[in-house]
Structure 1
Amino acid sequence: MEPFLRDWAKSAGERNEHVTQIYVLDKLYAITNKHDHLLDLANAHFQAQQYTRALSLVTRSELHHRLPAAKHLAAYCYIKQNRHDDALGVLGEKNPSHLFTSLDASRRKLQALNSNSSLTSKGHGKAKASTRLERADRSEERDFQDKSSIKYEAAMCYLRGLCYAKQNAFERAKDCYKDAVRIDVQCFEAFDQLMKNSLMSPGEEWAFLESLNFESIQLETGEGDGAQEAAGFVRNLYITRLSKYGRLDDFSTALDTLSTHYHLAENPDILLARADMLFASSRFEPALHLTSAILSHDPYNFACLPTHLSLLYQLHHTTTLFALSHDLADTHPSEPCTWLAVGTYYLATSRIPEARSYFSKASLMDPHFGPAWIGFAHTFAAEGEGDQAIAAYSTAARLFQGTHLPQLFLGMQEMALENLAIAREYLTAAYELCKTDPLLINEIGVCSYKEGDLDSAIRSFDLALRLAEDCEAPPQQYRDVRLNLAHALRRAGRLQESLVQFDEVIRLGLRDCGVFASKGLVLLELERVFEATVALHEGLALSPQDPLASELLGKALGLLEGEGVLGGQDEEAVDAGLLGKVEGIRRVRAAGGERGGRRKRGARVEGGRDEGMEVDGG
């Protein structure tokens, strides 16, 4: 009866008929009294979410003291019941470091084997090389471990990480996740926790990836070439999960290989990786096109939704946010991402108290959900509550130590409060984590400007624009950075360069009275009084009551008293000259293709005020 009952239980499990599976496995264990069948029965209870019964079966027989699989199951049952201390009691606190694979040692072994295999005959060389390759990618300690036991040891490292994360011991959790991947490079759940929760900086992520021994991947059947290809495939998959700041060529190569050679171009994870790259480069429209394509085929892809919500917010698609939030609230009320969507909608519509309530709800449902914490802090920043915003951003910085965004936002808040020394510390900490974010470099430039270090500010703004250009970001997304550069050049006395930047800002569609007033001020300092009056008139046409533009226009007209009609010249000749100059200005602008666009959020200089810069909220 044993084969019959085993097949019956297997077929029931394939149909998710858990009651049948448990019933049959219970009889199978009663007949055979084998440990394997007891473990199968406990696993069936676990799949049916009967965690207490599964745990009772494993612990009553003390099977978890003898089999790694049973220990793993017992710990997982405790975790599902939120008994994390008990889970650590079963797992122990020490990771099996003797099971780590060494990439350097493996490569040395492979080199030695390759040199030895060249001396073998053609008839027996392939079989011997294949046998040796299977052992070369493992350390001597691992040779004494069963292959399935090694995978369970890696899985238990992952469970230790979950327990430490619940106890807010994030450094220990990070070490456990990293050890799990070192033991078994195919333990993706541990790798996903490292990436999803931003537990490492971009530089640390790449260093960790380079240290992994993908050559330890073995195939059940096949030659060494198949294992080598599998190693490259897994490595490319892992590259797509790393931070999208820096090493874009490596990302592009990995994505192209997966898309063309393995036909994964339409896979949701590959599309999401491309969308994240575009989002990091401020190319919001094409990124939104990709996330929308993912959700059109899988409307409840919760890995994609945070990026999609951010893009909808950036592009002010409030109607889409409203519809998506309602759908998620109806279908998935127990998901934190649902209430993130609702909070994002309220934030986009400036209903700040409601947004704060729903961001808080999302963070309570999952205390390690980074976007909810950032959104919660944004609500305080939007209302000018600097102290509360700093407290919320500080919590996010403590929870997500591998991302530079909380430190960046902390620096922006401290600058708004004129605490420049503290702001500089936060921005420096953010720069240590990420050196390629144009928005961060812009904020460092603003801090330098406020401190009076104009040369450093100019260098920062120049670098931010170069980084944006390298990312192929739309120029309109970084108009404010260019405007900051124009003001810094003006304050530094580099008036011609400043005028070029002001003209470029206007050409990119930033038609603001303060911009025209600043341009008029530069023209006045260059003694181009008539052009200054034209610029100031354009600014006052946008904001007739602007005091700065009105004051500057009065000074410009005073300087023109001895010229033109005021100086006694022929009125018709003066009018003809004016018309010619105005028409010339219009032709230049028409050729430049004056365009509109939305501002990128961040720090920006206001007007032509000499007393300093002001930072836009959030």
Structure 2
Amino acid sequence: MREEEIEKLRGVVRDCVSKHLYSSAIFFADKVAAFTNDPADIYMQAQALFLGRHYRRAYHLLNASQIVLRDLRFRYLAAKCLEELKEWDQCLLVLGNAKMDEHGNVNDTKDSNVMYLDKDGEDREINITSAICFLRGKAYEALQNRAQARQWYKAAIKADPLCYEALECLLENHMLSCEEETSLLSSLQFNPDDGWLSSFYSCLIKKYDKEYVVEAKFRELEKESCSSSNPSNPSFMHSLKNNTDLLACKAEYYHQCGELQKCFELTSVLLEKDTFHLKSTLVHLAAAMELGHSNELYLMACNLVKDYPQKALSWFAVGCYYYCIKKYDQSRRYFSKATNVDGTFPPAWIGYGNAYAAQEEGDQAMSAYRTAARLFPGCHLPTLYIGMEYMRTHSFKLAEQFFMQAKVICPSDPLVYNELGVVAYNMKEYNKSVWWFEKTLAIIPSPLSEIWEPTIVNLAHAYRKLMRYPEAISYYDKALSLSTRSVSTYAGLAYTYHLQDNFSAAITYYHKALWLKSDDQFCTEMLSLALLDECRCGADPKIEYRRNEVYL
């Protein structure tokens, strides 16, 4: 057959692949390979078999060709076939051994001989070494060797920053701490034209930086246009301002800041635009659960189970719904199902532990949190929740140890500092408690949202314990500006005025607290004392008050 006729057949194969007619592609690719016996055509045939899900046959074809031992393209495709067949040890064997230097870069001269097949000179290719490193990482992760998996994922993204899948695995599976994520990103060698990609990646990592730093990253990507570096050839790319992935990052940032309503509104808009954007869906579920939107959770769970019954996210959504309506047994069942579907889905393990903790079943909650801490070393939440469980059982020293571990993993999450302040308060280390609470407020983005009202109240309590009453009153008032429905705030403010012998103000705030919770024992008792003391101002009330201070 003439060369031009063979080239036409190759074009038919490529067109069949683009139209997803894989049986046709396999048929014609087989004939082209028979006519030419060219390695490039054998590779094209193997690709058609792979896309048609004939993995064993594709692997046999590649393995029968001796060039598989000399060309990375052949070796990689053979390993991909074994990946699909779940033969992970054999997959690693086919990929061969490679060495990493101390910086995590791959140095293997055997991998330098690459035969580029069907390469368009205008296209930019992802480094084949990067793809192979990523596949090694997936194989090690499937073999439960997460330490090796992490190293190979890092090697993959370092070999080529365009290998987004490697970065996604590192971030979604919480394999790196905040500092490690930042360090990895700073070590990547981007092309001069990839400035936008560097900025985008910086938005993907944990977003606990100062508010102005994170907002600047988003603004940089939301510019209306970005001109080419060559003024003589002006080309423009459209703004990423309305890009779904970027907006999902922003929603995640709002969630981490405690701006739950803003987060929920943004994800609602995103899901109207792209109903099946799963990252937005996860953030939407988290915000809806914390806001108590049970109807929204119910509808989301029904749709997800119908459309994605094989995904852990769907069953996690069902668990969130039952958790929201306080049916913890059912929520636990579905969180457990989510972990069975995908054991590397972090929210399911956290939810599973929280469902146990909600019923004060501490041992089972601890077991779930410890599993999550082992599987996701870059996520500080399991360690944080372990500390909370110890605090619930009044094991304050142990709680403090785990909170400090969480602080090492994520040194800029304000929730960690808040819990350290609570522990110090319970251990009667009030100066230390004040320091932790003030540190918490210092790193919370402004303006403060209602979610941080308990932190302000805690700080006011600590100041009251130190007998610094003006500061305590100032923070109680600040807490009331965020929420007027807190019994603790009114009770604390009333008690502080009571300690200052300002009985009239104390009585007013005790009444406000009792209006919110009429059966509050502390406020009822202290209101009676305040009324008595207002009648006989000559008596020294403070001994009685300090005896009752245990209630607060």
When normalised by structure 2's length, the TM-score is 0.89
Q: Which letter does structure 2 place at the counterpart of 1:496?
A: P
Question: Is residue 160 of structure 2 the alignment partner of residue 189 of structure 1?
Answer: no
Question: Is residue 382 of structure 2 the alignment partner of residue 406 of structure 1?
Answer: yes
| Cα offsets for 1:17-47 (capped at 9, x unmatched) | 1111011001111111111111111111211
Question: Is residue 12 of structure 2 the alignment partner of residue 24 of structure 1?
Answer: no
Q: Which letter does structure 2 place at the counterpart of 1:277?
A: Y
- 2:541 counterpart residue number: none
Q: Which letter does structure 2 place at the counterpart of 1:179?
A: A
Rounded to whole Å, the distance in 2 between the matches of 1:98 and 1:204 is 15
Matches within 5 A, 1:112-261: 146=114, 151-214=127-190, 217=191, 228=192, 230-246=193-209, 248-260=211-223, 261=225
Matches within 5 A, 1:261-300: 261=225, 262-300=238-276
C-alpha contact (below 8 Å) 2:356/2:362 kept by paired residues: yes
Question: Is residue 311 of structure 2 the alignment partner of residue 307 of structure 1?
Answer: no
- 1:525 counterpart residue number: 499
SS across alignment from 1:548: helix
- 1:577 counterpart residue number: none
C-alpha contact (below 8 Å) 2:514/2:523 kept by paired residues: yes
Q: Which letter does structure 1 place at the counterpart of 2:148?
A: R
When normalised by structure 1's length, the TM-score is 0.79
Which among 426, 443, 448 is matched to residue 424 of structure 2? 448
Q: Which letter does structure 2 place at the counterpart of 1:10?
A: R
- 1:591 counterpart residue number: none
- 1:363 counterpart residue number: 339
Between 370-379 and 501-510, the greater mean CA deviation after superposition: 501-510
| Cα offsets for 1:411-431 (capped at 9, x unmatched) | 111111111121111111111
Question: Is residue 413 of structure 2 the alignment partner of residue 437 of structure 1?
Answer: yes
Higher relative contact order (CA 8 A, sep 6+): 1
| Cα offsets for 1:565-602 (capped at 9, x unmatched) | xxxxxxxxxxxxxxxxxxxxxxxxxxxxxxxxxxxxxx
Question: Is residue 258 of structure 2 the alignment partner of residue 319 of structure 1?
Answer: no
- 2:550 counterpart residue number: 611
Q: Which letter does structure 2 place at the counterpart of 1:384?
A: E
Rounded to whole Å, the distance in 1 between the matches of 2:398 and 2:97 is 38
Shift of 1:519: 2.2
C-alpha contact (below 8 Å) 1:449/1:612 kept by paired residues: no
Question: Is residue 450 of structure 2 the alignment partner of residue 476 of structure 1?
Answer: yes
Rounded to whole Å, the distance in 2 between the matches of 1:431 and 1:612 is 30
Matches within 5 A, 1:449-468: 449-468=425-444
Rounded to whole Å, the distance in 2 between the matches of 1:530 and 1:273 is 50
Rounded to whole Å, the distance in 2 between the matches of 1:255 and 1:41 is 44
- 1:372 counterpart residue number: 348
Shift of 1:63: 4.0
- 1:343 counterpart residue number: 319
Rounded to whole Å, the distance in 2 between the matches of 1:203 and 1:451 is 31
Q: Which letter does structure 2 place at the counterpart of 1:240?
A: C
Question: Is residue 492 of structure 2 the alignment partner of residue 553 of structure 1?
Answer: no
Q: Which letter does structure 1 place at the counterpart of 2:49?
A: H
Question: Is residue 62 of structure 2 the alignment partner of residue 58 of structure 1?
Answer: yes
Rounded to whole Å, the distance in 1 between the matches of 2:469 and 2:133 is 61
Q: Which letter does structure 2 place at the counterpart of 1:59?
A: N
RMSD: 2.6
C-alpha contact (below 8 Å) 1:513/1:549 kept by paired residues: no
C-alpha contact (below 8 Å) 2:72/2:113 kept by paired residues: no
- 1:423 counterpart residue number: 399
Pair 494,66 (structure 1): closer, same or farther in 2 beyond 3 Å: same
Q: Which letter does structure 2 place at the counterpart of 1:270?
A: L
Pair 146,55 (structure 1): closer, same or farther in 2 beyond 3 Å: closer
Rounded to whole Å, the distance in 2 between the matches of 1:53 and 1:355 is 44
SS across alignment from 2:279: coil
C-alpha contact (below 8 Å) 1:441/1:461 kept by paired residues: yes
Q: Which letter does structure 2 place at the counterpart of 1:335?
A: K
| Cα offsets for 1:72-92 (capped at 9, x unmatched) | 112111121222111112123
Shift of 1:142: 11
C-alpha contact (below 8 Å) 1:99/1:142 kept by paired residues: no
C-alpha contact (below 8 Å) 1:377/1:392 kept by paired residues: yes
- 1:92 counterpart residue number: 96
Rounded to whole Å, the distance in 1 between the matches of 2:155 and 2:335 is 33
Rounded to whole Å, the distance in 1 between the matches of 2:467 and 2:220 is 51
Pair 248,554 (structure 1): closer, same or farther in 2 beyond 3 Å: closer
- 1:498 counterpart residue number: 472
- 1:48 counterpart residue number: 52
Where do 5+ consecutive residues of structure 1 fail to align? 103-138, 218-227, 565-607, 614-618
Shift of 1:69: 1.1
SS across alignment from 2:550: coil
- 1:486 counterpart residue number: 460
Q: Which letter does structure 2 place at the counterpart of 1:413?
A: E
SS across alignment from 1:560: helix
Pair 77,418 (structure 1): closer, same or farther in 2 beyond 3 Å: same
- 1:37 counterpart residue number: 41
Shift of 1:263: 0.9
C-alpha contact (below 8 Å) 2:252/2:283 kept by paired residues: yes
Between 303-312 and 286-295, the greater mean CA deviation after superposition: 286-295
Pair 337,562 (structure 1): closer, same or farther in 2 beyond 3 Å: closer
C-alpha contact (below 8 Å) 1:99/1:183 kept by paired residues: no
Structure exhibiting the larger radius of gyration computed from Cα positions? 1
C-alpha contact (below 8 Å) 1:479/1:508 kept by paired residues: yes
Q: Which letter does structure 1 place at the counterpart of 2:266?
A: L
- 1:78 counterpart residue number: 82
C-alpha contact (below 8 Å) 1:98/1:142 kept by paired residues: no
| Cα offsets for 1:88-126 (capped at 9, x unmatched) | 121234346599879xxxxxxxxxxxxxxxxxxxxxxxx
Question: Is residue 10 of structure 2 the alignment partner of residue 6 of structure 1?
Answer: yes
Rounded to whole Å, the distance in 2 between the matches of 1:281 and 1:33 is 61
Rounded to whole Å, the distance in 2 between the matches of 1:172 and 1:101 is 14
Pair 562,378 (structure 1): closer, same or farther in 2 beyond 3 Å: closer
SS across alignment from 1:56: helix
C-alpha contact (below 8 Å) 1:150/1:183 kept by paired residues: no
Pair 150,448 (structure 1): closer, same or farther in 2 beyond 3 Å: same
Rounded to whole Å, the distance in 1 between the matches of 2:519 and 2:281 is 44
SS across alignment from 1:304: helix
Rounded to whole Å, the distance in 2 between the matches of 1:90 and 1:150 is 20
Pair 543,195 (structure 1): closer, same or farther in 2 beyond 3 Å: closer
SS across alignment from 2:222: helix
